[in-house]
Amino acid sequence: MTQSESAYAILQNLPPSEVSDSVNQHISGLLESHKPLAVAVSGGADSVALLLWLLSYSPPMKDQLTVMHFNHATRGARSDEDEAFVKDLCNKLGVRCVTKKRAKISGGDLSESALREARFAFIKPAMIEIGATTLFTGHHLSDRVETLLMRISRGSGLNGLIAPQPLQKFRDGTFIARPLIKFSKQKIVSALKSAGQNWKEDASNQENTPYRNYIRNILLPGWKQRCSQDLEHALETTINQLEEDSIALEKWAENICKDIDLRKREFPLDNIQNAPRAVQQRVILSWLNQQKVTEEISFQKIREVLDLQGGGSVNLNPKHRLSRVKKDYLKLENLVSDNEDFLGTQFVFKNTGTLFFPNGKKLSVEIIESTPQLIVSVQAGKDDPSQRVHLSLHTPDDELRITFRSPGLSYQPLGMSGTKSVRDAMMDRKVPSIERNRLPTVLNNKGELLWIPGLIPAEVGRVKTGMKWLLRLTYIAS
């Protein structure tokens, strides 16, 4: 089958006219701006279909697109085969491909959430490196139905029940786009077969211990047998109706917000006293967003505050507390103020993943197998020390200590013969004084300074030719 015939088969089975308007509009904007974009491809049917769909939707998109594959290394040779399959597919399609294999660390957490975190600890920095702000994923209707049932059982609110959305925007300005979210898994598989395209099956999807797999393999098939209509589309109708309700509540809240000064640290409750609780929660969340509370906050936390009729407070996150002063107003308080140092805070880290600091910033820690090309790039000074560095790592079990700067700390910057105080280094790099004690300081297991975001990394972390393991640190400030 020719490439044009394959593209025709994909679009016939997965027509763009049935894709969410928000996703189609977002893709149009990406094409017009020629912005780079990332596509998560595992090698499974969903992500392979997504890649082919994007290339069929607009062949010129190939020049903007980078495939990202994370090898979880949980299934031995099978995981390596999936990685090889993705690389081969991208090579045949003429698409750039970036891969990473999770380092096998003894005692590492292999839970679904831990693996997801490890995957995004790779994808997020990789997106920054290519300048992409949109990640495309292969979520489909069957995923959405499973998520609905999982969240019903956990008592989720309206926004949780309508997730995942076709287009999701995050507070840092990045997006996840899910073009296939309205198509069933069966339809996606049919499209691949029509296009003559194979894919890789993950045998672990047949294990029923994970909750999602139990819903997929046991609960839903039994339910479908007893249901007189198309169950997936019936549940999709429910999700769509809930989504319409959510949009109406958001619009209602937006109208109320137009008459409120959201910049003030105190929020008079008479602004919302006549609105339903669901609208009150959304207005308060808009106010918190205006107050630069960047951490995700659940409606449950806001409900707890509203229930404090006689006054009291609730910790929203490690940084903020929301207090209700009698019945009159809400007051936002900082548990860690904008001018407060984090001296004394320390983390011991011995794994890959992401650390979330009290000020809302993040530090991604990855242990990667080096390549000659990467070593040449690092040695040529291609790293941006304000965001990311690669450092030497003797074994994957090396321990890190991550703390906040102590007075008088000195180190030997990379390429320099002598030592320099961190204070002088920060002044040379023009790091704002308010930030200096709030930047994470990464130390090795000997207590030697490796890196502070914004500063040249330490000579002790120099990457040398032939090293097998590298430590990749990425500081995410937004």
Please provide the DSSP assignment of 236-276 as one string: HHHHHHHHHHHHHHHHHHHHHHTTS-TTSSEEEGGGTTTS-
Has residue 266 been placed in a domain?
Answer: yes
Count structural domains, the chain: 3
Return d(Cα 231, Cα 406) in angstroms, integer: 60
pLDDT at 417: 86
Domain range enclosing 22: 3-231
* CB 56, CB 10: distance < 8 Å: yes
Cβ atoms of 98 and 66 closer than 8 Å: yes
313, 321 Cβ separation under 8 angstroms = yes
Which structure tokens are listed for 356? 């979330």
Residue 246 lies inside a defined structural domain of this protein: no
210 & 294 share domain: no
Q: What does the DSSP assignment read for 389-407?
A: EEEEESSTT--EEEEEPPT
Mean pLDDT of 376-387: 90
- Residue 249 covered by a domain: no
What's the pLDDT at 438? Answer: 78
Whether 239 is in a domain gets the answer no
Domain annotation covers residue 243: no
358 and 386 inside one domain: yes
69 lies in the same domain as 211: yes
Q: How far, in whole angstroms, is CA 382 from its chain's centroid?
A: 24
pLDDT band at 344 (very low <50, low <70, confident <90, very high): low
Q: Is residue 245 a part of any domain in this protein?
A: no
CA dist 128 and 474 (Å) reads: 10
364 and 300 together in one domain: no
Which distant-in-sequence residues (6+ apart) come within 8 Å of 366 by Cβ?
100, 121, 122, 125, 352, 471, 472, 473, 474
d(CA 406, CA 50): 49
Among 334, 361, 381, where does a domain finish? 334
For residues 9 and 42, membership in a common domain is answered with: yes
**What is the domain-level CATH number for residue 309?**
3.30.465
47-56, 113-122, 183-192: segment of lowest average pLDDT: 113-122
Nearest to 477 by CA among 381, 390, 384, 349: 384
| Averaged pLDDT, 118-138 | 91
CA 270 to chain CA centroid, Å, is 37
Same domain, 329 and 351: no
Predicted confidence at residue 401, as pLDDT, reads 83
Q: pLDDT tens for residues 214-250?
A: 999 999 999 999 998 899 999 999 999 999 999 999 9
Decide if 153 is inside a domain.
yes
Look up the CATH number of the domain holding residue 69: 3.40.50.620
Report how far residue 147's alpha carbon sits from residue 177's, in angstroms, rounded to the nearest whole number.
17
Q: What is the pLDDT averaged over residues 423-434?
A: 82
pLDDT on residue 403 = 82
Q: Are residues 147 and 44 in the same domain?
A: yes
Residues listed for the chain: 478
Least confident window among 166-180, 181-195, 283-297: 283-297
Confidence label for 294 from pLDDT (cuts 50, 70 and 90): low
Q: Are residues 69 and 166 in the same domain?
A: yes
Residue 358 pLDDT: 61
> 275 and 366: one domain?
no
